[in-house]
Amino acid sequence: MKRTQIGFTLMETLIALVLMSLLLLALFGGFRAGIASWQAVDRQVEQSEPQQRLDRMLYRHLSQLQGVEAMRGFLMGSRHEEMFFIARPNLIRYAAPLALAVDNQPYAVELASRPGGRAGVWVRLLPYDQKQDMHAALDAAGYLLVSGELTLRLRYFVDGQWHDELEENVLPQLVSVDWQTPERVWSATTYTVSRGQ
C-alpha cells in the first residue's frame, strides 16, 4: 500500500515564497514608479502654473482693451476716446475689464517684471476712474506678487516692426512676451490686441 502525501514539499513551499516575493517586489516597484511620476508632473505643473495664469490673463485683457473718454477742448466741450496704454520692455499698463468685474467695469492694470529691482512678476490694479490721473494712482498703489521666479520681456508690433517701447497711448497690433524662470524658458507668446465693446 502506498501512502498518499498530504501537504506541500519543502521545494514547493520555497518556490511559492520566491514567486510571492517577486510579485510583491514588482507591486511595490510599480507603486514607487507611480509616485515618482506623480511628483514629476506635480513639479511641472507647479513651475508652469504662474506662466499659464498670466498667459490666460493677458489673452483675455488684450483682446478687450477699453478706451477712455477724454475732453478734447475745454470751450468746445467735444469729447474723444483715447487708449490708456503704456508699453515698455518690462512693463505693460492698460485698461480692461477683469474676468468677474461687475458691469464690465474697466480696471487700470499694470503688469511689471522686476519693478524697482524686486525679483519676479508683479501686478497693480485699480478700478478705472476718468476723473483721476490713473498713472499717478497706479504709481501710488502697491504691487501684488504674481510669481517670485517668473520674469518676462515684452515687445510690441506697430506699423510692420517690432519695438521694445512705444509712446504713451499708442496701441500696438500685437504684443509678444518672452517668459522664463531660472529652471525653464518658454517659447514666446504673441497676443492680438483689440478693443473691447
Reported as a pLDDT band with limits 50, 70 and 90, residue 197 is: low
pLDDT the model gives residue 75: 43
Q: Give the closest residue to 174 by CA, choosing from 165, 166, 162.
A: 162
pLDDT the model gives residue 112: 94
pLDDT higher than threshold 70 for residue 70? no
Share of the chain above pLDDT 70, in %: 85
What would the pLDDT profile of 150-187 be if each residue is shown by its tens digit? 899 999 999 999 999 999 888 899 999 999 988 888 88
Q: Return mean pLDDT, the chain.
A: 83
pLDDT the model gives residue 154: 95
Q: Give the closest residue to 12 by CA, choosing from 23, 20, 22, 4.
A: 20
CB 113, CB 82: distance < 8 Å:
no
- CA 174 to mean position of chain CA atoms: 18
What would the pLDDT profile of 26-65 be if each residue is shown by its tens digit? 998 988 888 888 888 777 766 667 788 888 889 988 888 8
Measured between alpha carbons, how far is 28 from 33 in angstroms, rounded to an integer? 9
pTM of the model: 0.69
DSSP 62-90: HTSB-EEEEES-TTT--EEEEE-EEEETT
pLDDT the model gives residue 71: 40
What would the pLDDT profile of 80-135 be if each residue is shown by its tens digit? 567 788 999 999 999 888 876 667 788 899 999 989 888 889 999 999 888 888 88
The average pLDDT across 125-147 equals 88
